[in-house]
Each structure stands twice: as structure tokens, then as C-alpha cells.
């Protein structure tokens, strides 16, 4: 598994890359729809990798009176989701159906605070870091139109400019592991709904901590 320090570095780099990408997008006349407090994406079927979930689980276990309290929200969220699947007549929908129906179930990610902020913002998974909509957030509001919202993607030109800026600043080496980590985090078949992945990571950590140490 990728070490948490490596993951944190990658996440800061990813944010730097996206700040650059969005600035280029706006410089060409585009408008970024996403703003602090807009939470439509946090109702989507967002997934994360095991290492991202473990990073959040570690922070939760280290802070039982703060972030750790979100465990109750995770459990409630997963119970509510199972109830809604059952009520929809399919207790174990296949992956495509889960994704398709999720937005319409109006389930707020358990890490979304009552003040509409992400409680794990610095550790939010790549799916949340890299999802940007263009124009206004009008299309993001409804299950009927959310899939039509225009997504912003890095262009070849903006990526080349970013790489060149790093080269001029002598920082290319800092990004040596970037592509490898990006590939690991986005491996097909290894991603799970954020709440379910973090619950699993919490259970793994809890059972590892309660396991008696073996004698050498």
C-alpha cells in the first residue's frame, strides 16, 4: 500500500495541478461552476481506493472526539442506503444501477458537515479533488440533468504548460512518483463507495489493533 506521507504529497501536488488547470481554463474564458458550499457532487456515488480510505480511517481513529465521531454517520448512511435499495425493489443492485440511481436517493456523503463543508477536505479522495463542472451548477442540481453537466478536463496544452512551469522552477523531480500513484489510485475494480471503503478500513484497523502481538 502507498504510504500515507506519499499519498499526502500526491494530494497536494494534485491540487496544485488542478489550480493550474482551472486557471488556464478561466484564462481562456471558461467559468468554473464549483464553489465552496455547493454540495451537489457530494450526493453522487463517489468512490475511493483502499489507501485513501485508510488515510481517513487513521485520522478518525486518532481523533475519536472529533473526526472519529463521523463513524456513526457512516453507519447510518450505509443503513439508509441499504434500506433505500430494498425499498427500490433491488437489495443488491449491480454497479451501473447503483451509480445511476444514487444521486436521486438524495444521500449526502457522511463526511459532509451540517455547514456544507467536507470534514476530510485535506484527505478527500481523488474522485472529489478532480471533479469540476463548467458554467453554472444549474445542471448539477437535479438527477435528471446532472449527467449533462459539463466537466472540466485538463487539456494537452495546459498539462504541457504545467510540466514546463515545473521544469523552469527546477521542481520536476518532486513529481517523480506522481503518475505511478495516480495510476494506483484509479485502478479499475479497486474502488469502493467512500463510506463503505472507510468503514472497511476502520474495521481493518480495529482488528489489527486488537490482535495480540506474536512472539518473535
Give the residue ranges of DSSP H helices in the chain. Answer: 4-27, 50-62, 70-87, 95-102, 126-129, 156-168, 178-185, 194-210
| Contact mark string toward ligand SF4, 180..209, x via CB under 6 A | --------------x---------------
Stretch in the footprint of ligand SF4 (CB under 6 A) among 81-89, 106-114, 182-190, 196-204? 106-114
Using CB under 6 A as the binding rule, whether residue 99 contacts ligand SF4 is answered as: no
Does residue 33 interact with ligand SF4 by CB under 6 A?
A: no
- Whole-angstrom distance, CA of residue 187 vs CA of residue 182: 9
Q: Does 46 bind ligand SF4 (CB under 6 A)?
A: yes
Binds ligand SF4 by CB under 6 A, chosen from 9, 34, 38, 118: 118
Q: Compute the Cα dihedral for 203, 205, 209, 212 and give only its sign.
A: positive
Helix (H, G, I), strand (E, B) or coil at 66: coil
Beta bridge partners of 86: none
What CA–CA distance (Å, rounded) separates 133 from 179? 23
CA distances from 62 to 28, 102, 109, 117, 157 (A): 44, 31, 21, 21, 42
Classify residue 74 by burial, with Cβ atoms within 10 Å: 0-12, 13-18, 19+: buried
CB of 210 to ligand SF4, least distance (A): 27
Q: Could you tell me the smallest distance in angstroms from the CB atom of residue 35 to ligand SF4?
A: 13
Integer Cα distance of 14 and 52 in angstroms: 14
Our CB check for ligand SF4 shows the closer of 107 and 166 to be 107
Residue 184, C-beta contacts closer than 8 angstroms, at least 6 positions apart = 2, 49, 51
| Residue among 128, 140, 149, 197 that touches ligand SF4 (CB under 6 A) | 128
User: How far apart are CB 39 and ligand SF4 at their closest, in Å?
Assistant: 7
Residue selected from 107, 120, 149, 185 as contacting ligand SF4 according to rule CB under 6 A: 120
42 contacts ligand SF4 (rule: CB under 6 A): yes
Q: How far is the CB of 160 from ligand SF4 (least distance, A)?
A: 29
Is residue 107 a contact point for ligand SF4 (CB under 6 A)? no
112 binds ligand SF4 (CB under 6 A): yes
- Cβ proximity to ligand SF4: between 102 and 124 the closer is 124
Interface ranges with ligand SF4 (CB under 6 A): 42, 46, 109, 111-112, 118, 120, 124, 128, 194
Amino acid at each position: 500500500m502507498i504510504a500515507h506521507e506519499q499519498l499526502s504529497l500526491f494530494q497536494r501536488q494534485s491540487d496544485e495541478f488542478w489550480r493550474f488547470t482551472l486557471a488556464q481554463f478561466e484564462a481562456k474564458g471558461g467559468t468554473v461552476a464549483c464553489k465552496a458550499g455547493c454540495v451537489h457532487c457530494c450526493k453522487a456515488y463517489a468512490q475511493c481506493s483502499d489507501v485513501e480510505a485508510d488515510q481517513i480511517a487513521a485520522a478518525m481513529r486518532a481523533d475519536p472526539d472529533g473526526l472519529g465521531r463521523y463513524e456513526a454517520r457512516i453507519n447510518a448512511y450505509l443503513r439508509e442506503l441499504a434500506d433505500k435499495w430494498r425499498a427500490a425493489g433491488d437489495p443488491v443492485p449491480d454497479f451501473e444501477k447503483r451509480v445511476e440511481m444514487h444521486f436521486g436517493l438524495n444521500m449526502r456523503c457522511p463526511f459532509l458537515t451540517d455547514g456544507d463543508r467536507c470534514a476530510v477536505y485535506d484527505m478527500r479522495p481523488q474522485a472529489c479533488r478532480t471533479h469540476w463542472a463548467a458554467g453554472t451548477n444549474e445542471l448539477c442540481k437535479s438527477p435528471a440533468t446532472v449527467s449533462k453537466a459539463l466537466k472540466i478536463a485538463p487539456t494537452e496544452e495546459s498539462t504541457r504548460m504545467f510540466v514546463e512551469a515545473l521544469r523552469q522552477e527546477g521542481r520536476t523531480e518532486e513529481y517523480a512518483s506522481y503518475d505511478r500513484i495516480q495510476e494506483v489510485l484509479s485502478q479499475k475494480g479497486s474502488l469502493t463507495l467512500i463510506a463503505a471503503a472507510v468503514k472497511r478500513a476502520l474495521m481493518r484497523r480495529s482488528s489489527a489493533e486488537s490482535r495480540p502481538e506474536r512472539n518473535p
